[in-house]
């Protein structure tokens, strides 16, 4: 047996595990696909995508802060949606919970409480990016109050 065999076996095992992810909407096997230069698991039929923890921050448009933490923080996990909560592609039969992407966006995502992954239906990444652009525009239009300038100035003088 060559020195490369264990690595090859590990890669094959990982590929086999990834091939077994099932779409929570239509039962189709998920396939590897690149989104914004990052590999994700996607459904070829409904175009939904499964994201491991941290991947939403990588594929969504950039914004200060952590989109996943902002989405989950203080969420009730109880939101009406056009689709019922499905089984997590990674942890099935664990049922995902409904979460609202950042407060008051109206974008409802599915989140697995066990692996912390997200399921995005086919149109939701586009909606998320539109909301992120709106939030970035709003943030650029808000100016610091004059007193904050003075506080920063005073702090810099004491260093």
The answer to whether the Cα torsion of 146, 151, 152, 158 is positive or negative is positive
Band of residue 14 on the pLDDT scale cut at 50, 70, 90: low
Higher pLDDT, 133 or 13: 133
Mean per-residue pLDDT of the chain: 85
The total domain count for the chain is: 1
What tokens does 98 get?
């409904």
Per-residue pLDDT of 60-82, as tens digits, reads: 999 888 899 888 887 888 888 88
- Predicted pLDDT at 156: 77
The band of 13, judged by pLDDT with boundaries at 50, 70 and 90, is very low
Element (H, E) at 119: strand 118-120
Q: Does residue 105 carry a pLDDT above 80? A: yes
Q: Hey, which residues does 7 pair with through a beta bridge? A: none
The residue range of the domain holding 141 is 5-157
Q: How far apart (Å, rounded) are the C-alpha atoms in residues 119 and 49?
A: 6
State the DSSP H helix or E strand holding residue 44, giving kind and residue range, or none if neither. none
15's tokens: 């590929």
Which tokens belong to 52?
Answer: 């491991």
For residue 34, the cross-strand partners are 39
Residues 6+ apart with CB under 8 A from 90: 21, 50, 52, 112, 115, 117
Q: What pLDDT is stored for residue 116 in this prediction?
A: 96
Task: Quick: pLDDT tens for 38-61.
Answer: 999 999 999 999 999 999 999 999
Per-residue model confidence (pLDDT) at position 159: 63
């Amino acid at each position: 047996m060559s020195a490369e065999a264990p690595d090859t076996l590990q890669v094959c095992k990982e590929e086999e595990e990834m091939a077994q992810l099932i779409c929570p909407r239509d039962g189709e096997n998920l396939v590897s696909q690149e989104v914004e230069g990052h590999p994700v698991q996607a459904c070829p039929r409904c175009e939904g995508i499964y994201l491991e923890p941290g991947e939403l921050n990588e594929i969504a448009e950039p914004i200060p802060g952590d989109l996943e933490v902002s989405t989950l923080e203080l969420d009730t996990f109880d939101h009406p949606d056009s689709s019922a909560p499905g089984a997590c592609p990674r942890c099935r039969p664990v049922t995902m919970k409904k979460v609202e992407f950042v407060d008051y966006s109206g974008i409802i995502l599915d989140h697995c409480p066990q692996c912390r992954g997200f399921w995005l239906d086919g149109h939701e990444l586009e909606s998320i990016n539109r909301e992120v652009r709106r939030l970035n525009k709003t943030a650029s239009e808000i100016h610091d109050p004059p007193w904050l300038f003075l506080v920063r100035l005073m702090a810099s003088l004491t260093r």
